[in-house]
Structure 1
Amino acid sequence: MQTKTKAPLIAAFALTLAGLGAPALAASQDEINATLAADASIWSGLFALAVADEIRNNCPTMEARTVRATTFVYGLYSQARDYGFSRAEIRAFQTADSTEARMRSEVMAYFGQRGVREGQPDTYCALGQAEIAAGSQAGELLRAR
């Protein structure tokens, strides 16, 4: 996967998580990470963000639906906050090596199953069009230029 610039979708999530928050019950960061990673709604939302971000970073005819993506990110953040974790704890989950490695692995497998090839923008564009047409979470975060 290419990283051209700090991705606005992921960056928006990171910025959202970087502020102040109420402290969670005494739990280790590993326990917090396990809790958030096990929440199917949060994980699938992060997955959709990562898929959409990779598509728009690698397809010159796709862009983010910025307002929709920002609203989506705040919704995910709210779900994570419902556990009582602070923004710093949620941010630590989001940036943990284990979270990033798992997400990268899942996104790359998803792309591979759908014919996306690194260095071939047309394959990213085709997937982006398919995601938009299917009305998937990732597709809802993208628009064709």
Structure 2
Amino acid sequence: MRFFLLLLALLCAVCALLVAWRFATLRSRGTTVSMRKLPASGEHGWRYGLLRYSGSTVEYFKLRSIVPFANVTFRRNEVQLRGHRELTVREASFLSPATRVVTMSCGEDTFEIALEPRAEMAFTAWVEAAPDARMDRIDAKSLRRKMSGNGQRS
């Protein structure tokens, strides 16, 4: 019984340290948002968290999570904006009144993100700044290697 209590205390201490670490490292390094995965009905599924931009990816960290890594990661070239909408009356009761909802898809998943006006502008600019896949330049040397079929340098 004593071993079980010691193990339980140790587990609680580790969880408390993870929560404190996550809170301290993420609190001032992101944009506060609410996000939910679609399909969702009514006002269900919203989760508070924050977005942290990192070059060509944006990471979403749930507020109530203790994992030391991002809960969801979006790659800029996979994100497509699907539209914007205002909050419903029920959503306005628990989200900030100035918030707008952005609908986006990433791969086969669709999400709604509730953002303040400045955060919405930043997120939209980040998505639109993605280079077009047609703009990728082909290196002549790598193209010659591919054409020769052996993968050796020419």
The normalised TM-score by structure 1 is: 0.26
From the two aligned structures, give the one with the greater strand fraction: 2
The normalised TM-score by structure 2 is: 0.25
Q: Quick check: which has more Rg, 1 or 2?
A: 2
